[in-house]
Amino acid sequence: MGQSDPCSPVDWLSSERLQFAIHGAHPTGSVPHQKIAVIDDALALCGGIDFTGDRWDTREHKHRSCFRRVLGRSYGPRHEIAAAVDGAATRAVGELARDRWRTATGQSLAPIDPAHVVWPRGLEPILHDIDVVIDDRLLRVGSSNLNDRSMGFDRECDLAIEADANTPEHEGVCRKITSARDELVSEHLGVSVGEFERVMLRQGGFLKAIEALHGQAKTLRPFTRRTVAGEESPLAENDLMDPDHVPRSLTRSVQRWIQGLME
């Protein structure tokens, strides 16, 4: 008997326009963590949101919502990461997607010259969450986590928008980056963007505004060692579960992990 393809049942149940493949060409223990979708090389989605059924939510993130239901069951609040791009950025993500498909199936797909516009007119992309914002100069949205394995072991895909504050042509981009930052922080503080901007102006700084709006309900807290104390376990922060590179010897990594448990 030949080896069965786990994607065959999904292909059979899905539309003939959809084909599924498993990309298994990666080191043992590593995962292809990229979360991308490319539509006709005209529009690309990239971020940290999994393409599954229980990720939708609104910016209110209510504790209970009758709309957060999948297959008859409810799920809790979600705060996900997503970005939509077109143009050269889409072509770059499309090249990555074709490379992944070629590795998984052996089939080479040719780029598509977009003959139509898939981006609705008048619609601007909404970033529902952001990985990193540095001043008004850098905005990064992607799948990578702030851990070792995302930096050198798993396959990740991030989008970055960078602006030079000293270049007049970049002023509009700087404003967009700042706007995205303020929208996200206001959402977490449970206030409007206008209120946050007024407090920031009155307090004389970004961090001072956050401290002034600190509350007991929806709020932001300082990130300290105690914040992640509950995440500490024998499975965290070691070169077996969280390596920063492809281990030279899996056996040796397991041995060091066992030794750490015994200490």
Name, in order, each residue with C-beta under 8 angstroms of 202's C-beta and a sequence gap of 6 or more: none
Tell me what pLDDT residue 108 has. Answer: 95
Pair 153, 244: CB distance under 8 Å: yes
63-117 pLDDT per residue, tens: 889 999 998 899 998 888 788 888 899 999 999 999 989 988 899 999 998 877 7
Q: Which positions ≥6 away from 199 have C-beta within 8 Å? A: 191, 209, 212, 213
Instruction: Please state the rounded mean pLDDT for residues 236-261.
Output: 57
- How far, in Å, CA of 148 to CA of 153, rounded? 8
Residues 28-42: what's their mean pLDDT? 84
Strand partners of residue 133: 139
CA distances from 236 to 57, 240, 241 (A): 29, 9, 6
Q: Beta 73-74 vs 138-142: how paired, if at all?
A: unpaired
The residue ranges of every structural domain in the chain are 1-168, 232-263
Alpha-carbon distance 160 to 170, whole Å?
Answer: 15
pLDDT mean over 217-243? 66
Whether pLDDT at 164 is above 80: yes
- Kindly report, residue by residue over 7-17, the tens digit of the pLDDT: 778 878 888 88
The pLDDT score that the predictor gives to residue 122 is: 57
Question: What pLDDT sits at residue 126?
Answer: 47
Instruction: Provide the percentage of residues in the chain whose pLDDT is more than 90.
Output: 30
Tokens for 180? 């995205």
Whole-number Å distance between alpha carbons of 257 and 240 = 6
